[in-house]
A and B are shown apart, each in its own frame.
Chain A
């Protein structure tokens, strides 16, 4: 038993302590969070615009929205990431993490747009009609009446999208970014240990997402409470 424990702690030290390897993981967490956060924001902005295109009565806008969602949903995110990084931004000298975040934002936008569209359509048509009959413009009705109510319905699905997005960023290693996944992988290669680095990676993602889930659940409960007033 004592011997087993000694073995385990030796491997642990080799994987996470020696040569400051924990620092790799910590900076990896930083990269994952940075990329995810910026991508979430971009995804929401793009998603909102695409949702408006999809809901618009104007034909060209409808087509743009449809093509966008079709293309993004119909291709793997790794392929999208690599095209954005090696083709679209090939000659533009921005920080890697920003380019990666743009790629994930573009990807997430397609899914967010569907969530927002469904959320807006879930609001009773009578709300729009009341707004219009009270002299609000179509835009005002959308902004002041429909969207504030849709946000509450959208929230759970949006939370899921954030979580999916964070997990999706585990492919940024393909464009040379050292995120959590890539750090784990790097330690695996350097130490010839598979179990600890990979399970360690999984645990870090799990904790990160658990924390986010708790925060989202709390916030959702808060929204529900304010709705019942």
Chain B
């Protein structure tokens, strides 16, 4: 059996005004793969995730999920799939934000249940069961009835991971999931992501945690100035003698 492609990004381009943030970036992710994206601030890491998750319109290139075209440029203009197709495609992926973006007016449980129910995946009882299962797994079952405002950063991020997982995505994107956390709280979140990797969840992770990226990733991509500077397995990349790459990794590891 061959590899099943989940995400296919080809030559995407994105500019804000006349600032070209992504220049011809391509990225393929197969089922079960864990890909990390590293790179300096402003290199366009978040923009890649935002284009892939349809939060940002791109200016050129092709975006496919499981072979279905979400967007592609046809003779110079971007064409997005129609509303129903996009709705279907949105179900393929989940996104975990740096700033959690939990819904403050809902309890932890409702944060997880409501999207599942509203998107018509299943009824409230089943969604609740699913949510409780996830909360238990992440060690948060006593927090089910708490409001997000009462949680620590690490707990919030774990809830937001549970919320994304409840949608049963085929691929999960993380945008610096631990950057907003106090250092002593990053561990609990990274542990969750590692356990997902162990179950062969397909993931694309933007991170500044070099040690974590090295341990968890099948492939690491180094992005610079909106272009893929280099990529490879974590052994390859972290053993590379490329000056620019080493300077970047070295700087982060010293912290």
B24 at the interface (CB under 8 A from A): no
Tell me the bound Cα distance from A25 to B103 in angstroms.
49
Interface secondary structure of A, over-half rule: helix
Q: Write out the residue numbers on chain B whose beta carbons fall within 8 Å of the beta carbon of A38.
A: none
Verify A134–B97 contact, CB threshold 8 A: no
- Report the minimum CB–CB distance from B142 to chain A (whole Å): 16
Residue among A129, A132, A133, A144 having the largest count of chain B Cβ atoms under 10 Å: A133
A19 at the interface (CB under 8 A from B): no
Verify A148–B105 contact, CB threshold 8 A: yes
Verify A136–B119 contact, CB threshold 8 A: yes
Contact mask for chain B residues 78-104; partner A; CB cutoff 8 A; 1 contact, 0 none: 000000000100110111010101111
Q: Write out the residue numbers on chain B whose beta carbons fall within 8 Å of the beta carbon of A135.
A: 87, 90-91, 115, 118-119, 121, 167
A228-B115 contact in complex given A126-B99, A135-B87, C-beta closer than 8 Å? no
Verify B101–A130 contact, CB threshold 8 A: yes
Q: Write out the residue numbers on chain A whose beta carbons fall within 8 Å of the beta carbon of B54.
A: 132
A127-B101 contact in complex given A134-B163, A137-B87, C-beta closer than 8 Å? yes
Verify A134–B87 contact, CB threshold 8 A: no
Q: Write out the residue numbers on chain B whose beta carbons fall within 8 Å of the beta carbon of A132.
A: 54-55, 90
What is the interface residue range for chain A against chain B?
20 to 34
Verify B105–A133 contact, CB threshold 8 A: no
A229 at the interface (CB under 8 A from B): yes
Verify A134–B119 contact, CB threshold 8 A: yes
A145 at the interface (CB under 8 A from B): yes
A129-B101 contact in complex given A135-B115, A136-B119, C-beta closer than 8 Å? yes
- Nearest to A126 among chain B residues (CB) is B101
Verify A133–B53 contact, CB threshold 8 A: yes
A131 at the interface (CB under 8 A from B): yes
Q: Write out the residue numbers on chain A whose beta carbons fall within 8 Å of the beta carbon of B164.
A: 133-134
Tell me the bound Cα distance from A15 to B66 in angstroms.
83
Verify B115–A227 contact, CB threshold 8 A: no
A140 at the interface (CB under 8 A from B): yes
A144-B167 contact in complex given A126-B101, A132-B55, C-beta closer than 8 Å? no
- Report the minimum CB–CB distance from B61 to chain A (whole Å): 20
Verify A133–B91 contact, CB threshold 8 A: no
B interface residues (Cβ-Cβ under 8 A, vs A): 53-55, 87, 90-91, 93-95, 97, 99, 101-105, 114-115, 118-119, 121, 147, 149-150, 160, 163-164, 167
The 9 tightest CB contacts between A and B, nearest first, are: A135-B119, A134-B115, A130-B101, A126-B101, A133-B95, A229-B147, A140-B118, A148-B105, A129-B55
